[in-house]
Structure 1
Amino acid sequence: MTILLLGSGGREHAFAWKMIQSPLCETLFVAPGNAGTAAIATNVAMNPNDFDTVAKFVLDNNVKMVVVGPEDPLVNGIVDYFKNREDLKDIAVIGPSQQGAALEGSKEFAKQFMVRHNIPTAGYDSFTAETVEQGCEFLETLSAPYVLKADGLAAGKGVLIIDNLAEAKTELRNMLIDAKFGNASSKVVIEEFLDGIELSCFVMTDGKSYKILPTAKDYKRIGEGDTGLNTGGMGAISPVPFATPLLMQKIEDRIVKPTVDGLAKDNIDYRGFIFIGLIIVKGEPIVIEYNVRMGDPETEVVIPRIQSDLVGLFHAIGSQSLALSSVEIDARSAATIMLVSGGYPEDFAKGKEITGIDSVAIEDALIFQAGTKAEGDKVLSNGGRVIAVTAFGENIDEAIKKSYQNINKISFDKMYYRKDIGFDLFKE
């Protein structure tokens, strides 16, 4: 079949790499894609949020399946757009409805969903510009540090964790009154701070049944030792060593099953991925947030470990027959390290020539391109996060070492990467 994949990051390159291995995938288009997807599929210069243009392309090219990589088109309602058009309603779109996508699109909606379905999460309240002073009073009832979350999408940058009460009040006013994160912070959720270790749990669901995918742990901070500004992600490992069978059973019983059941009880059409961001506090899993798509760079370690036909699984999601499918997982560990532009996540330059990609042998590591573009026979940097280098190992330590060994073959001007990804897992 002909498939259209929407997105342009490392997540989409990893999807494309896996999807073209499927005998079900005859032609793969990626919109807009990057230099990595251009090398293995056909890129289309198209905005994933321009639904009319996407629809015309789908009809003109006999596309039978649309896989939505990023969150924006889902939150903007692409699934509903297809369902509501007679000429598009039979095309499988992998992703939740707009109502389901509100799990990521609105922190308040997600919190209300969790409370309604008895899913463990941090205590919270939400505030607007009109109630900003009540928000300041609510902060006074909490202990430091203080967690402020922009309600809407803020490209992964809308969460502030602040140690000082006065500063927290100032930032709350900045978010609500001065629109620090634009419309995303027209409402702010204030949460109690939870101290523990984070874990990413990935689920695919057809709305009736679900499959739990390999766990992962990502590293958001730009600096080593988890310091500095938050980024879209500087690296990831899978599986997570502390995700024991007992912990995973707790996660499934208390969080995954109630989430999928809750969506069904609320009559929310949800056929796609659920990314559950967890924090483990004294051995107990608590939900920090939901995302309604795969994470990045977690996708770059999770997808390579899936041995089953990914397009076959997508087809089962679309036809609500996922219960009949099995997901085979590679027992090996995987680690990915992000190579980013100097200055990221603040100001950075684009257009830097990248060398050495072709010198990495496929048996040594997988190269997933993120912020890149092709210019003639050159590959140039075109974003903050540029390349993910993923390697396998018999254990996490070996996978991490192989990733770093292969990074040494790649270079571009002002290239930066963290040299401690996964090291926290080996502390005494």
Structure 2
Amino acid sequence: MNILLLGSGGREHALALKMSQSTLCGQLFIAPGNAGTAQCGQNVNMGVSDFDKIKAFCLDNAIDLVVPGSEEALVNGIYDFFKKDAALQHIPVMGPSQEGAQLEGSKAYAKLFMERHGIPTAAYREFNVHSYDEGVAYLQQHSLPIVLKADGLAAGKGVVIATTYEEAVEEFEQMIKSAKFGDASKVVVIEEFLAGIELSVFAITDGHTYQILPEAKDYKRIGEGDQGLNTGGMGAVSPVPFADQAFMEKVEEQIIRPTIAGLSAEGIIYNGFVFFGLINVGGEPFVIEYNCRMGDPETEVVMPRLKNDLLELFNAVIAGQLAEQTIYADERAAATVMLVSKGYPEAYNKNKVITGIPAPTRDQMVFHAGTRQEGNEVLTNGGRVLAVTSLAANLSMALAHSVQTAEQVNFEGKVYRRDIGYEFV
């Protein structure tokens, strides 16, 4: 199979490595890729939503499968673009239709979907510029804290947890009237705050059946002890100790099964990954959000623990034979520590030389997130730069190994957390 993987982060490096290990993998292309993905296949200088260029490339290179790594191409309708084009419709896209991608693309759409199918989630209401005054009144009588979410995609930054009414009204005004998140906050979802501990659960589906992948937990705050600004993710662990058999049975029965059944019943075309962002509230799972792709940095712990051939799973989705598959997970624990640029998630510098990246082993790999190659040098090219993932007999050992390697890798302004998975070690 000749494969085109779309994306440039740590998630894409993890997916590229996993696919390159398959006996089914012929040529693997990554657009635009990074210095790490170049070790798994061939990088292509092409945007993930430049559909016309993607079409020409697929036809010129006899591509057999397109795998969008991030949400951008999916929300922009790459699946529909391929299906509606006579020259492309024979090439499977491992992702949902544009409507299916609205589970991530619109918080309001996702909330209504969960309402229709009885899926547990926080109580909510949505408001826009026309119902602004009503929204302010709603906020002022709501219990604290209050969660405000920009309806659309906001690069992981469109959620605010307000602890005072003044803060809530100010954020609401900035989102609706000042377009704080651009078009993403034309509609704002206000929902109750759920107190609990979060985790990420992943399924692969053909829109009718599904298989559950290893779960993970990521850490969003920049500082140790979960302090400071929210980021795209500073690390992740898998498995999640509290996600025992009893809890995961509830997740499957109350959330995963009705989600996939709902997609099927509504005729929503959905191939590929479903990311369930969950919170455990006193032993009961609730959905915080859906994503229409794998998470980052969770992919960097899930893929190393997945023992299945990923391309075999993709082929089973395409052939409608996913129900016949069995998921096998490495019994070892995985811990990822993300190395980021000083200043992230706000302003940071790029083009810093990176040294000390070790060669991958059976027990450890360094996934590139924001890097680029220039001659023989690897340079920083983003806020999140590298993800160090280690596998070990237990989480404490895996974290220790990742931290040890994080200390050996060097670039100017390197920042990382040493306490990923701190609740469990």
Counterpart contact for 1:365–1:392, Cα < 8 Å? yes
Aligned equivalent of 1:22: 22
| Rounded Cα–Cα distance in structure 2 between residues aligned with 1:364 and 1:322 | 29
In the aligned structure 2, how far is the partner of 1:64 from the partner of 1:310?
15
Query: Are 2:137 and 1:134 equivalent residues in the alignment?
Result: no
Distance of 2:350 and 2:134 partners within structure 1: 43
Residue 289 of structure 1 pairs with residue 289 of structure 2: yes
Is contact 1:121–1:287 with CA below 8 Å preserved after alignment? yes
Q: Is the 8 A contact 1:360 1:406 kept in 2?
A: no
Structure 2 residue 188 is the aligned partner of structure 1 residue 208: no
Aligned match of 1:372: 371
Q: TM-score, normalised by structure 1?
A: 0.98
**Is the Cα contact below 8 Å between 2:49 and 2:76 reproduced in 1?**
yes
Once the two structures are superposed, residues 309-357 of structure 1 have per-residue CA deviations (whole angstroms, 9 ceiling, x without a partner) of 1011111112221112222111111000000000000000000000001
Q: Provide the secondary structure at the position in 1 that maps to 2:36.
A: helix
By how many angstroms is 1:244 displaced?
A: 0.9
Superposed CA deviations along residues 47-79 of structure 1, whole A, max 9, x for unmatched, are 110111101100010000000100010000000
1:48 aligned partner:
48
**Matching of residues 244-259 of structure 1 within 5 Å:** 244-259=244-259
Q: Note if contact 2:13-2:367 (Cα within 8 Å) is conserved in structure 1.
A: yes
Name the SS for the 1:14 alignment partner: helix
| 1:340-394 residue CA offsets vs partner (Å, 9 max, x unmatched) | 000000000000000001x355245201000000000000000000000000011
Q: How far, CA to CA, are the matches of 1:46 and 1:103 in structure 2?
A: 26
Shift of 1:395: 1.1
Measure how far apart 1:187 and its partner are: 0.5
* Percent identical: 57
Q: Matched residue of 1:270: which SS?
A: coil
Which AA in structure 2 matches 1:396?
L
Residues 209-228 of structure 1, C-alpha deviations (whole Å, 9 max, x = no match): 10000110000011111111
Write the mapping of 1:140-151 to structure 2, written as runs, cut at 5 A.
140-151=140-151
Which deviations, in whole Å up to 9, do the C-alpha atoms of 1:229-250 show, x marking residues without a partner?
A: 1100000000000001000000
CA-to-aligned-CA distance 1:92-142 (integer Å, 9 cap, x gap): 100000000000000000000000000000000001112111111111232
How many residue pairs get aligned? The number is 425
For 1:260, the equivalent position in structure 2 comes to 260
SS at match of 1:380: strand
- Give the distance between the partners of 2:259 and 2:218, measured in 1 at CA: 22
Q: CA RMSD in A?
A: 0.9
Q: Match for residue 186 of structure 2?
A: 186
Quote the residue 1:100 is aligned against: 100
Contact 2:337 2:416 in 1 (8 A): yes
Residue 395 of structure 1 is matched in structure 2 by 394
Aligned-partner Cα distance in 2 for 1:293–1:91: 19
Query: Quick one: distance in 2 between partners of 1:203 and 1:119?
Result: 16
Alignment of 1:118 with 2:118, yes or no, is yes
Q: Distance in 2 between the 1:360 and 1:31 partners?
A: 23
Secondary structure of 1:98 counterpart = coil
Other-structure match for 2:418: 419
Q: Would the aligned equivalents of 1:360 and 1:409 in 2 still touch at CA under 8 Å?
A: no
Q: Secondary structure at the match of 1:402?
A: helix
2:306 aligned residue:
306
C-alpha distance in structure 2 between counterparts of 1:68 and 1:12, whole Å: 9
Aligned to 1:157: 157
Q: Distance in 2 between matches of 1:141 and 1:412?
A: 49
SS in structure 2 of the partner of residue 92 of structure 1:
coil
- Please report how far the alpha carbon of residue 425 of structure 1 lies from its aligned counterpart in structure 2 after TM superposition: 2.1
Query: Which range moved further: 264-273 or 138-147?
Result: 138-147
Aligned to 1:351: 351
Cα separation, 1, equivalents of 2:244 and 2:313 = 26
Aligned to 1:78: 78
Deviates more, 1:223-232 or 1:239-248: 223-232
- Partner SS state of residue 236, structure 1: strand
Note if contact 1:31-1:48 (Cα within 8 Å) is conserved in structure 2.
Answer: yes
In 2, Cα distance between the equivalents of 1:61 and 1:326? 32
Say if 2:336 and 2:388, in contact at 8 Å, map to a contact too: yes
Q: Any conservation in 2 of the 1:31–1:47 contact (CA below 8 Å)? A: yes
Do structure 1's residue 410 and structure 2's residue 409 form an aligned pair? yes
Asked whether the equivalents of residues 360 and 366 of structure 2 are also in contact (C-alpha less than 8 Å), the reply is: no
Which amino acid in 1 is paired with 2:196?
G
SS of 1:408's equivalent in the other structure is helix
Amino acid at match of 2:64: K
Please list every run of at least 4 consecutive aligned residues from structure 1 whose deviation after the TM superposition is greater than 2 angstroms: none
Q: Which amino acid aligns with 1:407?
A: A
> How far apart, CA to CA, are the structure 2 residues paired with 1:205 and 1:245?
21
Give the Cα–Cα distance (whole angstroms) in 2 for the partners of residues 266 and 209 of structure 1. 14
Hey, what's the Cα distance between the residues in 1 that align with 2:342 and 2:423?
A: 24
What's the CA shift for 1:407?
Answer: 1.2
